[in-house]
Amino acid sequence: MASPFIEIPVGDRLVKVTNPDKVYFPEHGYTKRQLVEYYVAVGEGILRATRNRPTTLERWPAGVFEGARMATREDYARGQAGMGAGKSDAFYQKRIPKGAPDWVQTARIAFPSGRSADEVCPTEVAVIAWAANLGTLTFHPWPVRKGDVDHPDELRIDLDPQPGTDFSDAVRVALGPARDLLSELGYTGHVKTSGKGGVHIYVRIEPRWTFTAVRRAALAFGREVERRVPAEVTTRWWKEERGEQVFIDFNQNARDRTIASAYSVRPAPHAPVSAPLTWDELPDADPHDFTIATMPARFAKLGDLHASIDDESFSLDALLELADRDEQDHGLGDMPYPPNYPKMPGEPKRVQPSKDTDNQ
Give this prediction's pTM: 0.94
Strands 23-25, 30-31: pairing is: antiparallel
pLDDT in tens, 308-349: 999 999 999 999 999 999 999 999 999 999 988 999 888 998
Write the DSSP assignment of 133-196 as a string of letters.
Answer: HTTEEEEEE-SSBTTBTTS-SEEEEEEEEPTT--HHHHHHHIIIIIHHHHHHHTPPPEEEE-SS
* φ, ψ (nearest 5 deg) of residue 295: -65, -35
Note the pLDDT tens digit of each residue in 240-257. Answer: 999 999 999 999 999 999
Q: Which residue has the higher pLDDT, 351 or 209?
A: 209
Q: Which domains can be identified in the chain, with CATH numbers?
A: 5-149 (3.90.920.10), 154-257+312-330 (3.30.70.3300)
The pLDDT, as a whole number, for residue 340 is 86
How big is the CA angle at 92 (ends 174 and 26), to the nearest 5 degrees? Answer: 80
pLDDT of residue 81: 59
Residue 306: pLDDT band by 50, 70, 90 thresholds? very high
Whole-angstrom distance, CA of residue 150 vs CA of residue 143: 9
pLDDT in tens, 147-205: 999 999 999 999 999 999 999 999 999 999 999 999 999 999 999 999 999 999 999 99
Q: Is 347 left (phi over 0), alpha (psi -120 to 50) or beta?
A: beta
SS3 108: strand
pLDDT at residue 226 greater than cutoff 90: yes
Instruction: Report pLDDT digits (tens) over 186-195.
Output: 999 999 999 9
Average pLDDT over residues 56-60: 98
